[in-house]
Structure 1
C-alpha cells in the first residue's frame, strides 16, 4: 500500500516509537493517541498550558440518545519525545445522556507529525472521529459480540486469521444492512441456509 502523504490514525497500542519512525520513513503522517501506557509522554502533554491555547475546532452532534460536544486544541513543538512529532492535540468531549441527563467529560491527547498549518482543525477532528467510528463499529463489536479479548487462541498466525474471519462476518452483516451485529449473528446461526443466502451463494 502506498503511504506517501497518507495520514494514519492509531490507537494507544500502536503508539510506538518504531511505528512512528516507520510511517515517517514511508512519507506518511500519523495522528496517534497517547494514553496511560506512555506515562511520561502523557504527563508532558497534560501539563501543557491548554487553558491559554486557542480553540482550533468545535463541533456538536446529537444522536443515539445523547448530545456530544467536542473541542480540539493544537500546540506546536520544536521537539517532542516521539519520532517526527510536530504537534500535540487535545480533544475534550462532553457527553450528555438525554434520558438520565448525566454528563461525562473526557480529555484525550494525541501527537501528530503534521506540521502546523498542514491541515485545518476541522480536518484533523474529522480524522480523529473517523478513527473512533472504526473503533466503535469494528473493534468494539469484535470484543463484545465475538468475545475476542477472551479468546484463548494465541499461537502463531491464528489470532490474525480469527480476527480476519470476525472482520469478514461483521462486514457481510453490514453489507446486508444489519446494524445490530449481535442480532444478525443470532439470526444466521438459527438456520444453516441463512449465511449462504446472505453471501448469495444459493
Structure 2
C-alpha cells in the first residue's frame, strides 16, 4: 500500500528557524505545493491559489492550523529547502505509487541543462535521471560534478532508489558491471545496451546471435517480434529476437537470462539503411515485451505527441538558465529541475511571481 503523501514529508529537515512567527508546518507546505504542481500550477501565486481553492480538501488530512500559506511562504521555504531530501522522499513515494500499478520499466539517462554552457565558467550542467516510462514520472536524479561524467554518477542514483519490481533500461554509457550488480542486489532487473565501449561483451553477444543464425536457431530457445512504422517521410522496420539462456557471456555479468539483437531497417527517400543493436537482460521476457521496453526507453528524451507536458528530460532542455545568476544558482537549477513538473522555474526566479496566473485545474 502506498504511504499517504502527508506522511512522506514528515521527516524532511525544516530549514526555517522555529519562532513564534512560524505559522505553518513544513509537511503542509510541501503537500500543498506538490499537489498544486501535479495539478498544473506553474507559479508561487498559482500554488497558493490552488491551496485556497482546495482548502476544504486539504483539511481532511492536514492540520492547517493557520490556513493556507501565502505565495511568499511557499517561495521562501523552497528557496531554503534541501532539494536532495525533498527529491529522495518524493521519488520514493512516486516509485511506490508506480509499483502499485505493476511492473515498473524505468529508463536512466542524462542530459545538459539548456543555456548553462555560457552561464557558468565550468561549462554545461549535466544531470542523470530515472524516468518511469509507463507511468511517465521521475523517480530520482543526481547532478554530475564538474570534471566527471554520467558514467561515474549512475551508481549513485542506483543506490538511492528501490528497484524491487523494476526493469531498468540503460544506454551503452551505463552498461557497466557495477550498475548491473547494483540493480540485481536491489531485486530489480536490467536491460542494457551493448556497444563498443564493452568490446569483450559485444563480441560475446555477437557470437551468440551469429551462432544461433548459423544453426537456424536449432536447439536454441528464442522468441521473435517485428514492427513497422511510417512517419516523417521514413519507413522503419524492427525485428526483435530474444535468445534465452545464452552461452559464452563473461561470468562478471551476473544473472544474464537473455540476449536481445534488434535489426532495424530504415527507408528514407528510397534509400534503405540497416543496423543491428544488441541488448543484455537479466529478465527473460517475450520479444514483444522487450521491444516495448527498448522503444519506451526513448520516452525519457522525447515526449509523446499527446502528452506535451510529460515530465521527461525535455523539461531541463526547456528550462532556460540566465547567465548572470552564477554557479550557485546553477547548482540549484540542477537540483531543482526534477522536482514535480514545472516547479523548476518558480524555484529559481529572483523576481516576484507573475501576476497573470494560469488556472489549469
What TM-score results when the alignment is normalised by the length of structure 2?
0.39
Flag the structure with larger Rg. Answer: 2
Residue 182 (structure 2) pairs with residue 18 (structure 1): no
Match of 1:107 in 2: 276
Q: Is the CA contact (8 Å cut-off) linking 1:55 and 1:71 kept in structure 2?
A: no
**CA offset at residue 136 of structure 1?**
4.1
Match of 2:230 in 1: 62
Q: Is the CA contact (8 Å cut-off) linking 1:92 and 1:105 kept in structure 2?
A: yes
Q: Is the CA contact (8 Å cut-off) linking 1:60 and 1:68 kept in structure 2?
A: yes
Secondary structure of the equivalent of 1:56? strand
Q: In structure 2, how many angstroms separate the alpha carbons of the residues matched to 1:127 and 1:23?
A: 16
Residue 249 (structure 2) pairs with residue 80 (structure 1): yes
Q: In structure 2, how many angstroms separate the alpha carbons of the residues matched to 1:23 and 1:4?
A: 9
Match of 2:295 in 1: 129
Q: Is the CA contact (8 Å cut-off) linking 2:240 and 2:287 kept in structure 1?
A: yes
Match of 2:265 in 1: 94
Unaligned 5+ residue runs, structure 1? 147-154, 173-191
**Equivalent residue pairs, number:** 165
Counterpart of 1:40 (choices 200, 209, 231) is 200
Unaligned 5+ residue runs, structure 2? 1-91, 93-161, 304-311, 320-326, 343-352
Q: Give the 5 Å matches for 1:124-163.
A: 124-137=290-303, 161-162=333-334
Q: Is the CA contact (8 Å cut-off) linking 1:79 and 1:86 kept in structure 2?
A: no
**CA offset at residue 132 of structure 1?**
2.4
Taking a change above 3 Å as real, the CA distance of residues 47 and 80 of structure 1, as seen in their structure-2 partners, is closer
Q: In structure 1, how many angstroms separate the alpha carbons of the residues matched to 2:332 and 2:177?
A: 23
**CA offset at residue 78 of structure 1?**
5.0
Taking a change above 3 Å as real, the CA distance of residues 142 and 104 of structure 1, as seen in their structure-2 partners, is farther
**CA offset at residue 89 of structure 1?**
0.8
Q: Is the CA contact (8 Å cut-off) linking 2:165 and 2:188 kept in structure 1?
A: yes
What TM-score results when the alignment is normalised by the length of structure 1?
0.66
Q: In structure 2, how many angstroms separate the alpha carbons of the residues matched to 1:22 and 1:88?
A: 20
**CA offset at residue 14 of structure 1?**
1.2
Q: In structure 1, how many angstroms separate the alpha carbons of the residues matched to 2:272 and 2:315?
A: 25
Secondary structure of the equivalent of 2:291? helix
Q: CA RMSD in A?
A: 3.5
Taking a change above 3 Å as real, the CA distance of residues 14 and 159 of structure 1, as seen in their structure-2 partners, is farther
Bigger relative contact order (CA 8 A; separation at least 6): 2
1:104-151 deviations in whole A, cap 9, x for unaligned?
211110100013xxx2211111000000232445558978x88xxxxx
